[in-house]
Amino acid sequence: MPVAAVRLTRSRNAAGDLVVRLGIQLLDQHLEFLAGRGRPNTVLAVAHDLKVLFAMVGKSPRQVRPVDPVRVKRRSV
């Protein structure tokens, strides 16, 4: 899956609740879980951070390994 597939979308469901998606099932499930326990701005912040992470790592979510975010952090300092 190409990195370009990570795209943040926001919408409202029938109840008027914020729905945030990144277009990747694993990430969308995580955001749905978080939405049930966190505030809308928290969900948006996490979605944005995930989108930036995958853009900087340059890999699809299934290819990312725990060391990758550490490498990104080291490059940015």
Measured CA to CA in angstroms, residue 22 lies from 45, 57, 74 at distances of 12, 16, 25
Cα distance between residue 39 and residue 31, in whole Å: 11
Total count of domains within the chain: 1
Q: How far apart are CA 20 and CA 44, in angstroms?
A: 7
pLDDT, tens digit only, all 77 positions of the chain: 455 568 899 999 999 999 999 998 989 999 999 999 999 999 999 999 999 888 888 887 788 888 988 887 787 76
Answer whether 8's CB lies under 8 Å from 53's CB: no
Whether 60 contacts 21, CB under 8 Å? no
Instruction: Note if the pTM is more than 0.85.
Output: no
**Domain around 39:** 3-76
CA distance 16 to 14: 5
